[in-house]
Structure 1
């Protein structure tokens, strides 16, 4: 996954912002001919668009990652003035294409035309974006591009988003740089611009390249056996990657040999589904499989913090009111009982098995589209009561808890965005700081330093919220109110009461929250700043 692949530009080097780079190019084998084809397309002034098409799991994203990473380290982006890359999320409905196109155009306009007053009409916006790209030598990379037809001379526009077609046609007509598009199917471009467009079909891995990929994954088998595996699975990069990860993490070669593997390229992902069925059976009744189910049910990449908040919120009264009578999340309850450390271990194991990936800029978790389709079908068959609108529930849950959690700060190089709001770089430093605050709180309480204890309790409550421990956060919020009352400091009392009121409303304690608001008015003499929450 390229993710929201990040923006790069010539003046910003690796040393300045390493967090913006793809994590690694591990698993990339061969493809020298394809790398040369991309280089040639960049240097060819008559080529404006490079269409790279292949079936899902062939290695299009890995090829683009390796090409971009190699050009950054060696030749400074081939002298490009701007480099911008974007990965489109998977869509299940053509109606979602309009939303995806608008998101891409809005994000690109903010980056390319940050100092301009942006128009509101869709056609004006896409034309402005095309002009901004054409002003300089720009390398534009679009991964997982949706399949559509963009004929400029068509009498009627298609039901799909015409804005993407207008942009690609404009870049094919004139582009001093290069636009690289990776898609699963060949895009029928307009005949007027065929001379400026290069169509390239990415082939499967050869038997020797597939054997090298399995060896890189740590599979200790004879070379002939590895080449036979690569031949049986048609050199499909994703399938061989999953097989190698399965064998390297304790799987038996006999299990892979028993899979009925024949060379069937007509049905996309059929061989991958056989391997996924083996992995699912191997992970049966484990939290790793449940987490994989959860990520596959979501339509977009999501962060660990959002997943953890969703799992911890399913037992709250306000969350249950969102569910229909025939909907429940009881199947995911084992995940909600995990601590943040145990949750991270489960996530790390899925990383090691190459079943999930992470966006390099946001850390959002995602799965390959073939894995999402398979595991989504499996979870619907096993747990039909899980709501289909899980993505909407996640967004509503995040918006509700945003009234309590500190705002998310801008990501810094080498820092973990989940804990930046507390001033810490990673999970370990956050847990260490939480323990230290707990010790300081107890000392301040023993010394009867009520004002200091109220401040520490407020900070400790925020730390527990970030770590996902709602019960401990509620306990610290109550202690903060008690210590603030003992200190007779109105600003501290107002701050702690506001925090406790938000927590009470989220957890269903509306009556206690109302009584607490009356105490705020009586003691502090000012109206509270807590906004009314609606489930």
Structure 2
């Protein structure tokens, strides 16, 4: 255990209290730290000998530099004043002199950036630490405990670079990045960053999957690491399935991912005999281009319910990952709430459980959000909120915005939510407090609007709802007020994500969308239905053709199906949109073009319980028809066990309708 002594001057009671807080934090962080304030009375050997012993035995001595401290070092104060500092500085100077002017032991510390000019001259050649900056605490602790921020990797084998005159042409850079930029500073995760760096340097790892619950910081970790390697990963395909929603019972289509991937890779093929062939082909393209692949938020494409093991629902994605696990020459990174079963026990696959933040990183996060308080109080707050990254982000912004940045006032949140303290997530409790603070404001209405969607949304789509003047949602709010609300949610409350370079896209964490969407549905059901009905009409009118030719052209119709069913218009949506324009009636168009996954993603909106209980808003004949279609598509995707129940239920309904 490192042993530390702090040398400082008693400038004021507040200054002495700051030194005591620093010493207590070091001791709580595994560093044996001594200061004079721990002595009751006087040491039995006397202060002079005690100070000499402390400086001799310490592995590091922290020098708290202030104007008073420097004046005493330079003997500018009257004789008899500050004898402790004068004595300790004499011993410090002598130690550096005896060590041939080399110094790794004495570390200058400042509590304010303006105090840097008061560092004694012999200490100006070494790094100083400004503890008015939250992130500096970690840097100091790393030095004292000999835990470097980064470790130089062992040089690997030189990659093969073919001569340019052998007929091999290098394609242009591949760069797709659908990962949002999460606001706020980044803290901790040293082990995970090192794991990624080692894999990138070529240690044999082909796939890394980070597993954690929502809001733990998986996306934030990847965004930070990708930004660090912005120039040395020329070919990257970064995709987030969170953009299509994060609910475990959601049926998500992988088609938008494959469409964009093939376009970026300039694929010559666009049709395939099977989903497996499509997965094989994309794997070959990624390998040939040595392209980094990131799949963020993969859980909507996995079986994650009770008794399920995280198997992939999509056959093309399954085949893609199997190929990359065996022969990928670059790297694939996955984040999910459940490990991909098909990748278990693979030699070149690393599965890493991402835990909540450490207490010290949580404290640093709160400090970065301008939350004030003693280190112990901040640590207690971090523990109370489970060290959960998203929750601490919300808490820090709430304290800074509404409670003077005082961590001691966090109990106001519990008083504010009152009887609603039953919420299952800490994050939802802070969101409830936000909804009360923002009551009747355009900011709260905007959060409710975002809850209508399961993907990032363009402002021109929101304008459709603004113009509708929906009671309890958009009525009476001018467009300028909406734009101010967007600015405040992004800059003041830091609740919105950025999707560079698409500045017109509005997005937030899926848990925030989930909470405020549910709040709108339960509190203002008529506004919920009217908004979804407006979006249904908007999206179904977008395609130029009544029956679009490609999946890409059909995307607005898929959005329309979701919104129409959310509005309770299930029968109308099935008859007029799904059956006529998407399925082409008995032509079963999606199955003909090999889009069974897209078909299921559309069909799920017609079910109260996927593939078992259709919506009661549908007549019995349509319910039976939907169950039969769902069964066929599940079977086409190789999900035979799941197809049994919808087939049997459909048969039962058909018999009852005869």
Interval of TM-score (by shorter of Structure 1 and Structure 2):
0.5 to 0.7
Choose the corresponding residue for 1:28, options 186, 192, 199: 186
2:282 matched to 1:129? yes
Counterparts in 2 of 1:143 and 1:66: CA distance versus 1, 3 Å: same
Give the aligned partner of residue 214 of structure 2: 56
Counterparts in 2 of 1:45 and 1:118: CA distance versus 1, 3 Å: farther
SS in 1 for 2:224: helix
Give the aligned partner of residue 353 of structure 2: 201
Choose the corresponding residue for 2:383, options 223, 226, 231: 231
2:507 matched to 1:366? yes
Contact 1:144-1:183 within 8 A present in 2 as well: yes
Shift of 1:147: 5.4
Counterparts in 2 of 1:42 and 1:389: CA distance versus 1, 3 Å: farther
Q: What is the rounded CA distance, in whole Å, between the counterparts of 2:368 and 2:250 in structure 1?
A: 41
Give the aligned partner of residue 275 of structure 1: 430
Give the aligned partner of residue 397 of structure 1: 538
Counterparts in 2 of 1:10 and 1:69: CA distance versus 1, 3 Å: farther
Q: What is the rounded CA distance, in whole Å, between the counterparts of 2:229 and 2:454 in structure 1?
A: 32
Q: What is the rounded CA distance, in whole Å, between the counterparts of 2:176 and 2:240 in structure 1?
A: 19
Shift of 1:292: 0.3
SS in 2 for 1:29: coil
SS in 2 for 1:249: helix
Query: Structure 1 stretches of 5 or more lacking a match?
Result: 1-8, 151-156, 262-266, 316-328, 404-535
Q: What is the rounded CA distance, in whole Å, between the counterparts of 2:176 and 2:325 in structure 1?
A: 32
Larger relative CO (CA 8 A, sep 6+): 1 or 2?
1
Q: What is the rounded CA distance, in whole Å, between the counterparts of 2:171 and 2:193 in structure 1?
A: 20
SS in 2 for 1:96: coil
Counterparts in 2 of 1:162 and 1:362: CA distance versus 1, 3 Å: same
Q: What is the rounded CA distance, in whole Å, between the counterparts of 1:120 and 1:226 in structure 2?
A: 57
Give the aligned partner of residue 212 of structure 1: 364
Counterparts in 2 of 1:268 and 1:185: CA distance versus 1, 3 Å: farther
Greater shift after overlay, 138-147 or 39-48? 39-48
Query: Structure 2 stretches of 5 or more lacking a match?
Result: 1-169, 304-309, 416-421, 545-658
Structure 2 counterparts to residues 486-497 of structure 1, below 5 A: none
Q: What is the rounded CA distance, in whole Å, between the counterparts of 1:95 and 1:274 in structure 2?
A: 25
Q: What is the rounded CA distance, in whole Å, between the counterparts of 1:365 and 1:177 in structure 2?
A: 32
SS in 2 for 1:180: strand
Contact 1:127-1:167 within 8 A present in 2 as well: yes
Give the aligned partner of residue 398 of structure 2: 246
Shift of 1:25: 6.3
Give the aligned partner of residue 257 of structure 1: 411
The TM-score with structure 2 as length reference comes to 0.50
Give the aligned partner of residue 442 of structure 2: 287
Shift of 1:236: 0.6
SS in 2 for 1:333: coil
Shift of 1:279: 1.1
Greater shift after overlay, 169-178 or 244-253? 244-253
Shift of 1:226: 1.4
Shift of 1:402: 9.1
Counterparts in 2 of 1:372 and 1:42: CA distance versus 1, 3 Å: same
Choose 1 or 2 for highest CA Rg.
2
Give the aligned partner of residue 141 of structure 1: 294
Contact 2:399-2:409 within 8 A present in 1 as well: no
Aligned length: 356
Q: Residues 193-213 of structure 1: CA distance to partner in whole angstroms, max 9, x if unpaired?
A: 621110111121112111111
Q: What is the rounded CA distance, in whole Å, between the counterparts of 2:312 and 2:192 in structure 1?
A: 33
2:191 matched to 1:39? no
Choose the corresponding residue for 1:304, options 451, 454, 459: 459
